Structure 1
Amino acid sequence: MAEQLALRGDEKLLDLGCGNGFIIEELLPHMPAGSFVGLDVAPGILQSARKRLDGADIQAEWVEGSADELGRFQDSSFDRAIALYMMHYVDDIDQALAEAARVLRPGGLFILGTDHPDSLGEMHEVHFKALRQMNDVPSALFKSSPKNRISLTNGQEQLQRHFRNVRTHAWKDELLFPSTGAFLDFYQSHNHCSASSIPGLDLGEGFFEELRCRVGHQVNQIITQKGHFKVTKHTGLIICD
């Protein structure tokens, strides 16, 4: 991503959905005279970003807000803007993309990070198989991932409504898990494939304990046979100006 941003070192950059600021931290060596604005909807995680970069010799501003509501920023305010693996959560994606284009200066770049819908397919396969084995599972848990709202398959078309030049830089790689525990840590960090992040759906820890057990049993069988459990990642960047 740093290569695709083509940084001189003095840009002003907007990180939409900045999370705990780790991307900004990674970009610091590339922008010694630059400045950053990190925007996120979650005040707690913004506090984590402040703490992470406390003491760093940078100009940084942390803003609580949504990517589809950038009215606080004037037109042509930023040289670069990034939105990495978060746009599928935004209520109004088209408005967010329009706002990203509006706040960019002429000659600026916007980079969207997203996945192909089949990314992490092996993880989703064992997840849904485990759900089908369980009793009284809410139908909402079988709905498609929100990532399908904007992905490598449809993102370029959505971005072309707002940017003149749009190109995709995609790649594949693999994660090989040598132990069931290592995979389950990864699986849980993805909110059990979003099952534990559906608003208003409180399933209780017992439900997720059974789900992890059933998923873990499948993964353990595969590791016993093959020596590892493979998860294929198909991800990429869409670069816009």
Structure 2
Amino acid sequence: MTQPDFRTPELDDLAQRIIPQEHFEFPTETARDRFFADTRMLDVKQLVHNAFRTNPRSMVDHMISNLELTGTEDLLDLGCGNGFILEHLRPHLADGTITGLDNAPAVLDAARRRLHGTATPFTWIESSADDLTMLDDDSFDRVMANYMIHYVPDLERCFAGVRRVMRPGGIFQLTTDRPDSMVEMYDVHFAALRALDAPADLFKATPKGRLSLETGAAQLKRHFDRVKKVTWQDQLRFTDPLPFMEFYATGHNHCCASSVPDPRLDESFYENLRALVEKEVKRRIDANGYFAVTKFTGSFLCR
């Protein structure tokens, strides 16, 4: 199947103009205790990505195909979250094993409940992805880290740990975004921030800028002999502002502006921010038939 190509000169120009070089950074404790104290962020993102995508092949399907599974492998999922990806992957490992690791107890419990009773053996570990000391050398055929590596405190220790626990001939899949992914959402967000005369330090890019699809290869090549980048595109299309607003406000914390408490910003600020964003999204829907959010994403396959 030929992959859709949503990249246009207009989107490239927009990204050049509005995506900042500086990106948000959040400690792993913030992610554990705030973002993933429950599964709401993950639930909203997963629902929206499935319901509003236009690529007929999902990103999860793409990730599974990258792993080249035969059905008997032992797989380690770093930052397994609520088990959404593992639920789809599990039938491809009917005679293998799966280990899910996450440092957030709430989402790890959700994953455990989600996969409870399946025939594939599961092991659940509460730990940071840069501490794999409880795992033996050469114990996994496949390791994956999907959209979570930017929260890991010590990336070098994480990658060295993955190299140690991965068997010869194994595959480590690290999935992340390009810096300009979802540029349309950032466009309406930054315009609303400007209209509200928001603090300058809110104008930052996604935390995935810490290790993006543009920059990650150099870090990974210090630990793996072969690093291949496999890109993926999709476009979410909304004909009603409300599901997009849930995606924006709950799924992405207002493009990270509300990720941590800020004494400068009260609830009325966020109410006004949402009102301006929703108004612009509705205007674009009325003008174009839908509001698009383009995903430029992909995986590094490391061997």
- TM-score, normalising length from structure 1? 0.94
Structure 1 residue 174 corresponds to structure 2 residue 235? yes
Mind listing any 5+ residue stretches in structure 1 that lack a counterpart? Answer: none
Aligned position for 2:39 = none
CA RMSD after TM alignment: 1.4
Distance across 1 between alignment mates of 2:267 and 2:108: 27
Aligned position for 2:246 = 185
Aligned position for 2:111 = 49
Task: Give the alignment of 1:25-174 within 5 angstroms.
Answer: 25-135=87-197, 137-174=198-235
Show CA shifts across 1:143-199 (max 9, x none): 33211111110111111111001101102221111111121122121221112223x
- Structure 1 counterpart of 2:275, which letter? C
Tell me, what secondary structure is at the counterpart of 2:180? coil
Structure 1 residue 24 corresponds to structure 2 residue 86? yes
Q: Is the 8 A contact 2:236 2:294 kept in 1?
A: yes
Distance across 1 between alignment mates of 2:226 and 2:282: 46
Q: Which of 220, 234, 240 is matched with 2:296 structurally?
A: 234
Greater RCO (Cα-Cα under 8 Å, separation 6 or more): 2
Tell me how far 1:204 sits from its aligned partner: 4.2
- Structure 2 counterpart of 1:35, which letter? T
Tell me, what secondary structure is at the counterpart of 2:187? helix
Q: Is the 8 A contact 2:75 2:140 kept in 1?
A: yes
Mind listing any 5+ residue stretches in structure 2 that lack a counterpart? Answer: 1-62
Distance across 1 between alignment mates of 2:67 and 2:204: 35
- Structure 2 counterpart of 1:109, which letter? I
Distance across 1 between alignment mates of 2:137 and 2:99: 15
Tell me how far 1:139 sits from its aligned partner: 3.9
More strand by share: 1
Distance across 2 between alignment mates of 1:16 and 1:103: 12
Tell me how far 1:26 sits from its aligned partner: 0.8
Q: Is the 8 A contact 2:179 2:205 kept in 1?
A: no
Q: 1:82 to 1:122 in 2, by over 3 A?
A: same
Show CA shifts across 1:90-110 (max 9, x none): 122222122111110111110
Tell me how far 1:36 sits from its aligned partner: 1.0
Structure 1 residue 220 corresponds to structure 2 residue 282? yes
Distance across 2 between alignment mates of 1:145 and 1:224: 28
Tell me how far 1:140 sits from its aligned partner: 3.5
Tell me, what secondary structure is at the counterpart of 1:156? helix
Distance across 1 between alignment mates of 2:118 and 2:262: 40
